Amino acid sequence: METTLNYLREGQCARIKTLRMQGAMRRRLLDFGLIEGTRIRCLGCSPAGDPVLYCVRGTVLALRRQDSRCIAVETEP
Amino acid sequence: MSLIALAGNPNVGKSTLFNALTGRNQHTGNWPGKTVELAQGRCQYKGEEIQIVDLPGAYSLVSRSPEEQVAEDFLRSGGADCTVAVCDATCLERSLILVLQVLALSPKTVVCVNLMDEARRAGLQVDTARLERELGVPVVATSANRGEGTQRLLEAVRSVCDGFVPLLPERAPIRGETEEESDAIARRFVLRAEEVASKCVEKNAAGKNLTRRLDRILLNKWSGYLVMLLLLLGVFWLTIEGANYPSQGLQWCFDRLGELLRSGAERLAFPTWLTGALLDGIYATTARVVAVMLPPMAIFFPLFTLLEDFGYLPRVAFLMDHRFRRCGACGKQSLTLCMGLGCNAAGVTGCRIIDSRRERLIAVLTNAFVPCNGRFPALIFLISLSFSGGSALLGAGVLTLCLLLSVAMTLLASGLLSHTALKGEPSSFVLELPPYRKPQVGQVLVRSVRDRTLFVLGRAAAVAAPAGLVIWLLANLHIGGTSLLQGAAAVLEKPGILLGMNGAVLLAFLLGSPANELVLPILMLTLTAGTGLGGESSTQMAGILLENGWTWRESLCTLVFFLFHWPCTTTLLTIRKETGSRKWTLLALLLPTAFGCVLCILLHFALLLIP
């Protein structure tokens, strides 16, 4: 099912479809290897609910919801 | 002599490797973006001298943040005879993205796969021979924290420098003319990294994932903040409790030495003014700075370094990001704030890890809101004088409250700035949480205690000694019956009292601008009218204050003013350098000062209501 990254629940996995953003943030995410087809797993959110932790290519990243909203993903069943 | 550059992602152990190679003590830490200036060192290999430059960690050479720019510029300029691209064996795929970019920029490269011991523990096997075939450059496996593989690395570096390794055919672009082109290039790097990593890394056993389990406690909704507070409290408690005895010991030594010097001066029939200037001025001030300031600093700093090496600080940034975002700032500001606890000047330089210019400026301007190491000992002294009695635990509690107040004011000031001078929305933000690592306890303790001691002694010689002389002169040059120092204190008496302190304290803050650790010693010299008694111990200092009618009210206001006043000269110069603007430097000076003045005046009037 296609959705955006911020809707991923803890433990859920998805594959990146597109990065709907430009400029510095887009470059930064590409550096971390977030390209189309990359598998990403949600590890859970911070006590305040934002930012949220994800695991990509063996790295643990924290992303704010305002950013993860702009990342389209395809959830894995 | 050959020049080699170390390049790699943040937190892959570049600084540890640098130290293992050069024996130099580049400060290492377990959080992304530790090396913000270029560190240089030398080492010998088979009689040849090799110069090594440690480039700041970068996620990519298609740079954005100022520190990544430094790395790219250096590699592009072709200044190095050989580049060592450092990888993290536990996370090879991601490291390779940068390595491929380095290879595209500079063909004379050796790839160093570091953290091999950690990878083994995690059940990962890296086939370096295969990696060498895939990349076409020499690959060396190392565990820099144990010094494993460094000789092989140097051998490979030398063979590249001497031209014994066939070079890659040509350079490739690392970015395109347009956004689409750059995207395509970036994608190619990622896919190639994925391909190479899949061929060279084998996961042979289910390794233990301690990091995830620990994070479940340390980042938990309920226990996360509690653990953070307890850690802070623990560090403060150990600092206060532990600083007591060495402080007394140092004091005893300084007293004896002072007596010896005095009798020596008498025997040599020194004129009174010379004995006064040398012993009451220079010696007494230096002795006070060293005896009272050194022990807490030499304990706090290593403890904090242990937390840093363990990998806890990025977690603080993660836990605190929410609050900073609300104030329109960046979560990474928590990291610069933590650096500021060590030294505000270092904290200001550390702000380069923040990508957005607006958020970086906010972090720079508010860094002095957290008390640096030079202020801690004075805070501890005031707290034990008026609030905690002899109880170290209570003292640590009050100190923790002070720090919470600091953080609250930092947030308030950040919020103010992002609504006024630095208007804007919080920008996007990616924070990497590195795996926890076992700190090299012995090494950290020895290294940072020694470094701190040298640092304090160096500062004592460079700042405290001359300041002692100047202040002694001010205390002993008389105009119309009163000394200059007392005259100045009298002029400042009114504003001092308005701030809930007194003229002498305000004067001490003003004269202590070169270094915060000078404030208390200057105050003592003012109150004793320049007839210093040698280096007074904390008890003697307390006695002098109490004789001058000091109460807990003055302590409270002085405490607050210690937390919030103008940054020391070093910090201001650093801010000037980092922002390149007089306007921002002036604001950095005025902002904490304004906060301190307002808080102290409010406090002063509030205290009037209490009988």
* Sign of the alpha-carbon torsion through B194, B198, B200, B205: positive
With an 8 Å Cβ cutoff, are B430 and A49 in contact? no
Name the A residues in 15-74 with CB < 8 Å from any B CB: 21-22, 24-33, 35-36, 38, 43-44, 46-51, 53, 57-64, 66-67
**Is pLDDT at B198 greater than 50 in this prediction?**
yes
Per-residue pLDDT tens over the stretch B254-264: 888 988 998 99
Per-residue pLDDT tens over the stretch B401-426: 999 999 999 999 999 999 998 888 77
Query: Pick from B93, B97, B318: which is nearest to A31 by CB?
Result: B97
Domains of chain B, start order: 2-203 (3.40.50.300), 223-609 (no CATH)
Residue A17: pLDDT band with limits 50, 70, 90: very high
B529: distance to nearest CA of chain A, Å?
54
CB within 8 Å of B100: residues ≥ 6 apart: B189, B192, B193
Query: Pick from B90, B93, B319: which is nearest to A33 by CB?
Result: B93
**Is pLDDT at B247 greater than 70 in this prediction?**
yes
The pLDDT value given to residue A28: 86
Range of the domain at A41: 2-75
Q: Which of B12, B95, B428, B436 to mutate to test the interface with A (most CBs of A within 10 A)?
A: B428
Q: What ipTM goes with this model?
A: 0.94
Residue B536: pLDDT band with limits 50, 70, 90: low
Query: Pick from A33, A53, A67: which is nearest to B190 by CB?
Result: A33
Residue B562: pLDDT band with limits 50, 70, 90: very high
Interval B59-65 mean pLDDT: 75
Rounded CA separation B315/B325 (Å): 16
Strands A39-45 and A13-19: antiparallel
Which residue blocks in B460-568 are alpha helix, DSSP H?
A: 465-476, 484-491, 493-498, 503-511, 519-527, 538-547, 552-563
The candidate with the shortest Cα–Cα distance to B315, out of B232, B243, B218, B388, is B218
**Residues A56-60: contacts with CB within 8 Å, 24+ apart?**
A56/A32, A57/A32, A57/A33, A57/B91, A57/B93, A57/B94, A57/B194, A58/B90, A58/B91, A58/B93, A58/B94, A59/A32, A59/B91, A59/B94, A59/B432, A60/B211, A60/B432, A60/B433, A60/B434, A60/B435
Question: Encoding tokens for residue B26?
Answer: 């580049």
The residue among B29 and B585 whose pLDDT is bigger is: B585
Query: Pick from B179, B319, B325: which is nearest to A22 by CB?
Result: B179
Which SS3 state, helix, strand or coil, does residue B114 take? strand
With an 8 Å Cβ cutoff, are A32 and B219 in contact? no
Q: What does the DSSP assignment read for B556-579?
A: HHHHHHHHSSPPPHHHHHHHHHHH
Q: Which of A34, A59, A65 to mutate to test the interface with B (most CBs of B within 10 A)?
A: A59
Interval B10-37 mean pLDDT: 69
A69: distance to nearest CA of chain B, Å?
11
CB within 8 Å of B279: residues ≥ 6 apart: B258, B261, B262, B265, B532, B534
Whole-number percent of chain B with pLDDT over 90 = 33
Rounded CA separation A33/A56 (Å): 8
With an 8 Å Cβ cutoff, are A60 and B432 in contact? yes
Question: Encoding tokens for residue A59?
Answer: 């790295």
Interval B500-516 mean pLDDT: 90
Which residue blocks in B367-440 are alpha helix, DSSP H?
A: 376-386, 392-419
With an 8 Å Cβ cutoff, are A53 and B318 in contact? yes
**Is pLDDT at B32 greater than 60 in this prediction?**
no
With an 8 Å Cβ cutoff, are B429 and A60 in contact? no
Which SS3 state, helix, strand or coil, does residue B10 take? coil
Interval B208-214 mean pLDDT: 80
**Is pLDDT at B206 greater than 90 in this prediction?**
no
Q: Which chain B residues have a beta carbon less than 8 Å from that of A52? A: none
The pLDDT value given to residue B170: 56
Q: How many domains, chain A?
A: 1
The pLDDT value given to residue B169: 55
B333: distance to nearest CA of chain A, Å?
15
Per-residue pLDDT tens over the stretch B438-497: 887 887 788 778 877 887 788 777 888 888 888 888 888 888 778 888 888 889 999 999
Question: Encoding tokens for residue A33?
Answer: 């290897």
Q: Out of B1-5, B366-370, B385-389, B523-527, which region has the weakest mean confidence (pLDDT)? A: B523-527
The pLDDT value given to residue B56: 82
The pLDDT value given to residue B171: 64
Q: Which chain A residues have a beta carbon less than 8 Å from that of B185? A: none
Q: Domain of A70: which CATH number? A: 2.30.30.90
Q: Which chain A residues have a beta carbon less than 8 Å from that of B431? A: 51, 61-62
A44: distance to nearest CA of chain B, Å?
9
Residue B25: pLDDT band with limits 50, 70, 90: low
With an 8 Å Cβ cutoff, are B322 and A50 in contact? yes
Rounded CA separation B115/B121 (Å): 10
The pLDDT value given to residue B534: 45
Q: Which of B12, B320, B430 to mutate to test the interface with A (most CBs of A within 10 A)?
A: B430
Rounded CA separation B580/B583 (Å): 9
For the ranges B200-204, B271-275, B399-403, the one whose mean pLDDT is highest: B399-403
Cα dihedral B396/B402/B407/B409 (nearest 10): 180
Question: Can you give the three-state secondary structure of B419-435, one letter per residue?
Answer: HCCCCCCCCCCEEECCC
With an 8 Å Cβ cutoff, are A44 and B219 in contact? yes
Q: Which chain A residues have a beta carbon less than 8 Å from that of B61? A: none
Query: Pick from B64, B97, B431: which is nearest to A33 by CB?
Result: B97
Residue B114: pLDDT band with limits 50, 70, 90: very high
**Is pLDDT at B272 greater than 90 in this prediction?**
no
Number of neighbouring beta carbons within 10 Å of residue B448:
24
Number of neighbouring beta carbons within 10 Å of residue B42:
13
**Is pLDDT at B34 greater than 70 in this prediction?**
no
The pLDDT value given to residue B70: 76
By C-alpha distance, the chain A residue nearest B68 is A28
Query: Pick from B220, B322, B426: which is nearest to A48 by CB?
Result: B322
* Mean pLDDT over the full length of chain B: 86
**Is pLDDT at A59 greater than 70 in this prediction?**
yes
Note whether A11 contacts B: Cβ–Cβ < 8 A: no
Query: Pick from A36, A48, A53: which is nearest to B433 by CB?
Result: A53
Q: What does the DSSP assignment read for B516-530?
A: GGGHHHHHHHHHTTT
Residue B307: pLDDT band with limits 50, 70, 90: confident
